[in-house]
Amino acid sequence: MISYKNLKIVAVLLVLTIVSCSKLHEDLRSTLTNEQTATSLGAAGTQLLLQAAYTDVGNPFTDVGQVFSLQENSSDESLVPTRGGDWDDNGVWRVVHSHTWNADHAQLLQTFNNLNKLNFDATNVLAFNPSASQAAQARFLRAFALYHLLDFFGQYPFRNPGDNLLNAPQVYSGDSAVQFIISELNEILPDLAAGGKANMGIANADACRTLLMKCYLNRGAFANRAAPTFDDADMQQVITLGNAIINSGTYKYMNEYFDNFSVSNNNSTEIIFAYPNHTGVSAANSGINGRWFATLHYNQYTPDNPNAGWNGFSTVADFYNSFGVSTPLHASTTSPWSDTSVDKRLGRRFYAGVTDASGQRPGLMIGQQYNENGTAIKDRKGNPLSFDPAISANMIETGANLEVTGIRVEKYPPDLSTGQASYNGPSGNWLVLFRYSDVVLMVAEAETRLAKSATLTPEALTLVNNLRTVRGAATVTSMPLVNTANVNDPKTFLAERSRELYWESLRRTDLIRFGVFLKPWAYKTSDDEKNLVFPVPNQALAANPNLTQNPGY
Amino acid sequence: MTTTRLLRVLLLCPVFMLILQASWAQTKNVTGKIIDEQGRAVAGASVIGKGSKAGTSTDANGEFKLSIPANISTVIISYIGYGTQEIIIPSSNEVAVTLHPETQALTDIVVIGYGTARKKDVTGAVASLKEKDFNKGVITSPDQLLQNKVPGLEVTQNSGQPGAATTVKIRGNNSIRSGNNPLYVVDGVILDGRSARPSVSIGALGGQTPESNPLIYINPNDIASIDVLKDASASAIYGSRGANGVIAITTKKGSSGPTKLDFATSFGVFAGYMKKYEILDAGQYRNALTKYQVPNASTLDGGKSIDAQDEITSDKLSQNYSVAFSGGNETGKFRGSFFGGRDQGFIKETSLDRYLGNFGGSYKFLDKKLTIDFNLIAGHTTEHMGGISNDPGSQGNLISSVLQWNPTQPFTDASTGYYVFPENGSGNPLALITGVSDIADVNTFLGNISAAYKILPNLEYKFLYAINHSSGNRNTNLYGWLQGYGGLSGLGSGSIANAVLSSQTFTHTLNYTADITKNLNLNATAGFEYWKSDFSNNTFSASGFNTNLTQASIIDIPYTAMMQDASIQNLPSTYIDPTTELQSYFARVILNYASKYYLTATFRADGSSKFGENNRYGHFPSVAGKWLISNENFMKNSTLFSNLAIRASWGKTGNQEFPAGASQEQFGFSSFNTAGQINVANPDLKWETTTAYDFGLDFGLFKGRIYGGFDYYNKTTTDILFQSTAIQPAPASTYWINIPGDLKNTGYEIAIGATIIQKKDFTLDVTFNYANNKNLLTNFYAPGTKTPLSILTGTIEGQGVSGTLGQIITNDQPVNEFYLKPFNGFDDKGNQQIGADPVYAGDPNPHSLYGGSISITYKKFSLTMNGGGAGGYLIYNNTRTSVTNISGILQGRNIDEAAYNSDEGPGSGVGASTRFLESGNYFKFRNASISYHVGNVVKYVKGLNIFVNGNNLFVLTKFTGFDPEVNIDHSNSGYPSRSIEYIPYPTPRVISFGLNFSL
């Protein structure tokens, strides 16, 4: 039996045991708590939080499978054919071009999440006592995210700083959604730094004006995507804001079109807002080299790198033909291009620092490709690497030429400033987000729409012809806005936007605003009205009951 | 405080030993002879005078002579493996003793967590394996000892690389996330379960390399027994970490007797692939070039006949040496062991080197009231890994380069001797072997010391302190002369990674036994435990070096020796995980009425720092009963049943395998001058709870000649830990939450063993086990709705199938159900037709597992054979989808024989579909061992044993890959995949030779 004395021993031991217990606390050790962030980092900490929001812009806008894919592959400018053993990827690329996506599409979810991460991080800055300038930049970045969410999904979720993240936030849709973005941008405009080369990497006043212009120009399209309207006051706003930028004298066209996209494009006088990248610096690099890898053939560039390119993204003959080049031209191999009659934006000219190092000629690539020595490149089967405009009707290549179908587009000349290291590694081209020529063309469009004219007004035509002249294209005497019977009609203003702004993640928005997004074009034969807006990703819908699935999905 | 006192005691320990050796006075001489049960002389048996410190051991004739104080009346005779006997010294002072094997007695002891129990008294489902039951042959980690040995225990080798991790599951999938591995407990010390070998993504060669086994520092030769705690009654004492079952490893201890030295060595050679992958040989390849009208076929024919699968295999010898010494007396025992060896990898230049030391002892003080036990394990392991990753993308890995190699093409250029790099991007396997160097060193220390004090004869207090510290370093070099790899070729890349894993345990237990009445016996245990674990990791990598960029100018200095010479310095990644602390109170009561009726009740309260502040403590109760029918009077005289018992148990256990820090709001730095919130905090986050029932039957027939058991279980896991979609806008795409939902595992297990023949010179023993498990996820809805949740996982890798996910975790399906587009045959052009929408396509979780063994002894020969397999599941052959598919032939790559023999045309294209689902059913002849017991040789060598082992002798399966026992990690966002095969490290057949003896 247990005696009293023994019980005492047991009791003492038990007490000892219990005393040795500690208050459980999870020490984070390499991350900070909210309080530590606020107190120990102080004002500098707010700048760090703002920087995180800036960094959020890089991935969703650079990656070829997010904003870029949704804007370009869904349009008449781009598609990714499946090539035998490559680029099937469970059909994700084909359904974007054929407008047969659904609410489980991975690119939609990724885009939704990444834009909302920008939305979140920008909002978070406001909870940490930002300066007026910091708050303005954060609100610009948030507006930038919200504008794209609204464009894609017709709605966006919104949290106030410090909201409980376990609660479903409110959702803005319809005109109040545009109106909120507009009011935000108008409020912050005075607090932003002036635009220009020095500030093109940060939220600046001209970037704010450009985003405002987009809001006003597209407001009627967001409200009624099937039949966009254009309010006079809105158009006047576009013109006023655009002229403020044009008349500031801050921007002028670059003589070399591709200097806007090359490794030295931070010297461009056309860029209003861009995401900075630096050669050889992996910190916050957005992976801009994916833009050329995605389109280049495996065998393009160096003999060490037969698999450097991904051999995917292509464009269609109708777009190529909109440049008015009737016969395929044969690039000379080593000497500079001498034909000045061709639109510079088509490319295919000798580009110093790239053509001499790789044989590549930025722009649209068609026909035989050469290396830096002028030797004709072969594909992996030993056939000539000669890009063929004809793509299989169902976008599934099974023939002997499956590696070479599709015209390629090298919008960003590869960074070869340190050879392979920059080509493969962290490349230094800045990602262009807003560009001067877009502002000019928006003004031209707004003037025409204000005049209720189907063709460009004289003022608008002047703006367009000035641009065409700089780009080496002949001036025109008349230009209709759009030909609804032929989306790719070269004579139209819509085609001019395409020639100037192709592969800059603007095309889907343009096609909707011009009322032709549901028209057939190459490798997209039929459509449905629901496709004017993307479905809200199913996962997001399940998480936030305040989101509403778009009609038809 | 307590620790320092104990350390002082430990330090004084050797002093005591010296003192105890000294001084005795008046003596008498005792002589005797000791024989075994077969009448053979026992040499080396220990003879000690009881109450004195004097002792000796028997000579080769089994005889001894001992001088002891005259007042000593008893001698203690002991010999390893035999029961210790106390013999009263007759007046003649001559003793004759026959020793009896104590294997039966040893078999009886089962580790039940914070204590042991006799097998007969255990109420839970516990499988206990002793050394003789283990798998034989090439063993690099303790879990391999158990493969196919325990019903309901599934051990899958994740990779053929020696030292690679295994997937271990007890009674099915208890969780939808990773963290399904059981809890490992070594000599009472709970392990963290992670490895300090840093994870590395081998950049351009694609993806994460297979994880390392966290137990490789434990010398399999040091393991005395392994207990597998399967039901809640057995594992609930481990509370919030017990849901996946517990594997308790007990290392060998010294025993009283003279010092003994055991030596063992073995050498292994490879005997080819267990199963080769069927690709075209040179002749078929040439035919294929014609059949498919491959352009430039003539330039593709290199004129040779090469078997790339053979060229990459190693012909080097594996060798292991181990030595152990042990000894002791009544009050102190010790054992030390050293192990050194290299397990050669089947693929050239891969290997696992292990240098392991173990020292432990048990010393008694204060009239044996105080027992100090200590054990130290120190291990140094070095892994040389090849360029084989789990998830290589379009450029594949070493194995894809083997399978795609044009079999008519020599690997090197005849004139320069340099490696040839085909322009089809397949890579050159021999170049990859030379051009990839990935070496990881891990140093692990596991030390524990405990002090047990008998306050009363039936009340014992025990304190245990343990530390497990492990640090790993890994240098990975990918040389720039390897051509054809974007981001690598012409640049080179190097990375250095370090990790530190450290955990500490403090345990106080109080054990009380009492006979409450004559028939009612009580055994009660109560305790407190504090456990803490830390993990940190850092990685530095760079690319763009000036050396080793062409084959003509290779120097023998790795990039990792000069990281500053790199044009691209990647951001270092350093992190320290939040410290995880657990503190727990536990209690267990075992009641035994007349050795007929048993009742066990356990309870544990676990507080974890990981849990959200609203749910700091979890409570885990269990109860179990057993009726030992064979002890009833009416059964006492049964000649049929020597043992018959029925058991039932119920209990709750937990799983807390989610990342530390998930419940708190965290702000992190991603690079210079950026900081941001990185997670969605959930202060309600808690453990996952598994409620389990078990009904069991144990039997022994004909005096134990036939024995076995049957168990039925039903487990339901609720409060499922889930990475839910974060409600955007949010700092991350997911966050951790417990959601309702029931993950059910039901099944039954049968184990049968029989001694069919038992004669003096000939015995035949067979065992067989079978387990059936059914896994189903139900009530799996989005929070607050009836919308079924679905999580897609199981990444299908390779060029052309990027972003494809092949498995789904959703309502009313087993976890990881295959979810693939249906394959609808070939059209008239030979193009594969794949349906538009994925369908539920089958279960990747084996429904049945079985294993068996046969042991035969004939005179001095013995033969042991072990085998087993799994059935009722499907494997996705990702290799066939994207590596050896038919389209490769157009680029001059080799393709698989099945595609070649099908109606498929070369332009068919790639696509993931049900076409590549294959039956996983297999039987594997895991190992066979023939040994010859030479016995004592010359004067000192005792018990010489020589043996030949064969491992992975053959496999019977319809699966077309290397090995149907496969689980390549294709997880997606933390959700594991199951049964996906993708260019894995192949499984070799190994023959090993060895011997062991004692001195």
Hey, what amino acid is at B489? S
- Answer for the pair B30, B68: CB distance below 8 angstroms, yes or no: yes
Residue B74: predicted pLDDT: 84
Residue A20: its chain B contacts at CB < 8 A? 506, 508, 528, 530
**Closest Cβ opposite residue B295 in set A116, A382, A426:** A382
Interface test with A, best of B674, B723, B827 (most A CBs within 10 A): B674
Using the Cβ of A376 and the Cβ atoms of chain B, whether some distance falls under 8 Å is answered with: no
- Answer for the pair B501, B470: CB distance below 8 angstroms, yes or no: yes
Does B10 score more than 50 pLDDT?
A: no
pTM of the model: 0.86
Interface test with B, best of A1, A2, A3, A24 (most B CBs within 10 A): A24
Which tokens is B340 given? 């050194």
> Is A420 in contact with B909 (Cβ distance < 8 A)?
no
**Closest Cβ opposite residue B907 in set A49, A402, A419:** A402
Which tokens is B921 given? 């059913």
Which tokens is B293 given? 């009208």
Closest Cα in chain B to A105: B803
The residue ranking higher by pLDDT, A495 or A335, is A495
d(CA B347, CA B344): 8
> Is B425 in contact with A84 (Cβ distance < 8 A)?
no
Cβ-based burial of B271 (10 A; exposed 0-12, middle 13-18, buried ≥19): middle
> Is B609 in contact with A51 (Cβ distance < 8 A)?
no
Residue A21: predicted pLDDT: 58
- Answer for the pair B186, B446: CB distance below 8 angstroms, yes or no: yes
| Helix, strand, coil tally for chain A in percent (to 5) | 45, 10, 45
Interface test with A, best of B667, B832, B891, B896 (most A CBs within 10 A): B667
Please, which residues bridge with residue B767 across strands?
A: B753, B853
CB pairs under 8 A between A and B: 304
Residue B731: its chain A contacts at CB < 8 A? 117, 120-121, 124, 165
Question: How close A180 gets to chain B, by Cα (Å)?
Answer: 17
> Is B423 in contact with A543 (Cβ distance < 8 A)?
no
- Answer for the pair B492, B480: CB distance below 8 angstroms, yes or no: yes
Long-range Cβ contact pairs of A216-219 (< 8 A, separation 24 or more): A216/A182, A216/A241, A216/A446, A217/A442, A217/A445, A217/A446, A217/A513, A218/A151, A218/A509, A218/A513, A219/A175, A219/A178
Instruction: For B653-691, give the secondary structure using H, E and C.
Output: EEECCCCCCCCCCCEEEEECCEEEECCCCCCCCCCEEEE
- Give the model's confidence band at B4: pLDDT under 50 very low, under 70 low, under 90 confident, else very high: very low
- Answer for the pair B82, B102: CB distance below 8 angstroms, yes or no: yes
Is the peptide bond prior to B210 cis by the omega test (within 30 degrees of 0)? Answer: no
d(CA B533, CA B192): 7
- Stretch B907-919: mean pLDDT: 91
Q: How far apart are the first and last CA of chain A?
A: 76
Cβ-based burial of A7 (10 A; exposed 0-12, middle 13-18, buried ≥19): exposed
CB proximity list for B804: less than 8 A, separation 6 or greater: A89, A90, B795, B796, B912
**Closest Cβ opposite residue A304 in set B490, B514, B733:** B490
Does B14 score more than 50 pLDDT?
A: no
Does B358 score more than 80 pLDDT?
A: yes
B581-613 tens-digit pLDDT = 999 999 999 999 998 999 999 999 999 999 998
Using the Cβ of A31 and the Cβ atoms of chain B, whether some distance falls under 8 Å is answered with: yes
Does B860 score more than 60 pLDDT?
A: yes
Residue A335: predicted pLDDT: 45
**Closest Cβ opposite residue A282 in set B570, B782, B891:** B570
> Is B661 in contact with A26 (Cβ distance < 8 A)?
yes
Closest Cα in chain A to B891: A381
A451-495 tens-digit pLDDT = 999 999 999 999 999 999 999 999 999 999 999 999 999 999 999
Interface test with A, best of B298, B680, B727 (most A CBs within 10 A): B727
Closest Cα in chain A to B481: A304
Question: How close B482 gets to chain A, by Cα (Å)?
Answer: 8
Closest Cα in chain B to A401: B907
Residues 59-88 of A with CB under 8 A from B: 65, 82-88
- Answer for the pair B350, B386: CB distance below 8 angstroms, yes or no: yes
- Give the model's confidence band at B206: pLDDT under 50 very low, under 70 low, under 90 confident, else very high: low
Question: How close B859 gets to chain A, by Cα (Å)?
Answer: 54
- Stretch A39-56: mean pLDDT: 89
Does B289 score more than 60 pLDDT?
A: yes
3-state secondary structure of A89: helix
Using the Cβ of A301 and the Cβ atoms of chain B, whether some distance falls under 8 Å is answered with: no
**Closest Cβ opposite residue A282 in set B571, B801, B821:** B571
* Strands A82-83 and A396-397, bridge-based pairing: parallel
Residue A307: predicted pLDDT: 67
Question: How close A233 gets to chain B, by Cα (Å)?
Answer: 32
Residue B939: predicted pLDDT: 81
DSSP state of A524: B
Residue B511: its chain A contacts at CB < 8 A? none
- Give the model's confidence band at B9: pLDDT under 50 very low, under 70 low, under 90 confident, else very high: very low
d(CA B237, CA B509): 12
DSSP string, B263-308: EEEEEEEEEEESS---B--HHHHHHHHHHTT-TTHHHH--S----H
Chain mean position to CA A40: 36
- Answer for the pair A529, A148: CB distance below 8 angstroms, yes or no: no
> Is B661 in contact with A28 (Cβ distance < 8 A)?
yes
Residue B929: predicted pLDDT: 94
- Give the model's confidence band at A340: pLDDT under 50 very low, under 70 low, under 90 confident, else very high: low
- Stretch B727-739: mean pLDDT: 90
**Closest Cβ opposite residue B576 in set A2, A30, A307:** A30
Question: How close B261 gets to chain A, by Cα (Å)?
Answer: 41
Hey, what amino acid is at B22? A
Residue B75: predicted pLDDT: 84
- Give the model's confidence band at A326: pLDDT under 50 very low, under 70 low, under 90 confident, else very high: low
Closest Cα in chain A to B608: A24
Question: How close A290 gets to chain B, by Cα (Å)?
Answer: 12
- Answer for the pair A295, A69: CB distance below 8 angstroms, yes or no: no
- Answer for the pair A321, A334: CB distance below 8 angstroms, yes or no: no
Longest dimension (CA), chain A: 113
B469-503 tens-digit pLDDT = 999 999 999 999 998 887 888 889 999 999 999 99
Does A330 score more than 70 pLDDT?
A: no
- Answer for the pair B341, B354: CB distance below 8 angstroms, yes or no: yes
- Stretch B165-179: mean pLDDT: 84
A141-170 tens-digit pLDDT = 999 999 999 999 999 999 999 999 999 999
Residue B112: predicted pLDDT: 87
Residues 88-107 of A with CB under 8 A from B: 88-92, 106
Chain mean position to CA B480: 36
- Stretch B191-212: mean pLDDT: 80
B28-67 tens-digit pLDDT = 888 888 887 666 777 778 888 877 777 788 887 788 888 8
**Nearest-CA neighbor of B160 among B985, B991, B992, B990?**
B985
Calculate Rg over the CA atoms of chain A. Answer: 27
Using the Cβ of A335 and the Cβ atoms of chain B, whether some distance falls under 8 Å is answered with: no
**CA-CA distances (angstroms) from residue A229 to A108, A512, A515, B59?**
27, 11, 10, 108
- Give the model's confidence band at B137: pLDDT under 50 very low, under 70 low, under 90 confident, else very high: confident
> Is B568 in contact with A166 (Cβ distance < 8 A)?
no
Question: How close A495 gets to chain B, by Cα (Å)?
Answer: 33
Residues 509-528 of A with CB under 8 A from B: none
Interface test with A, best of B728, B823, B910 (most A CBs within 10 A): B728
Closest Cα in chain B to A50: B674
Residue A487: predicted pLDDT: 93
> Is A382 in contact with B729 (Cβ distance < 8 A)?
no
**Nearest-CA neighbor of A438 among A463, A410, A474, A413?**
A463
Residue B678: its chain A contacts at CB < 8 A? 31
d(CA B949, CA B929): 4
- Give the model's confidence band at A88: pLDDT under 50 very low, under 70 low, under 90 confident, else very high: confident
The residue ranking higher by pLDDT, B157 or A52, is A52
**Closest Cβ opposite residue B576 in set A29, A49, A302:** A29
Virtual CA dihedral for B673, B677, B678, B681, nearest 10 degrees?
160
Residue B24: predicted pLDDT: 41
B969-985 tens-digit pLDDT = 888 887 889 999 999 99
- Give the model's confidence band at B344: pLDDT under 50 very low, under 70 low, under 90 confident, else very high: very high
CB A488: neighbour CB atoms within 10 A? 22
Question: How close A38 gets to chain B, by Cα (Å)?
Answer: 10
Residue B164: predicted pLDDT: 87
Closest Cα in chain A to B788: A542
**Closest Cβ opposite residue A117 in set B675, B731, B802:** B731
- Give the model's confidence band at B15: pLDDT under 50 very low, under 70 low, under 90 confident, else very high: very low
**Closest Cβ opposite residue A106 in set B576, B803, B910:** B803
- Stretch A65-91: mean pLDDT: 92
Calculate Rg over the CA atoms of chain B. Answer: 30
> Is B674 in contact with A52 (Cβ distance < 8 A)?
yes
- Most trustworthy range by pLDDT among A33-47, B399-413, B563-577: B399-413
Strand locations in A211-341 (E): 271-275
B407-464 tens-digit pLDDT = 999 999 999 999 998 877 788 999 999 999 999 999 999 999 999 999 998 999 999 9
Residues 219-278 of A with CB under 8 A from B: none
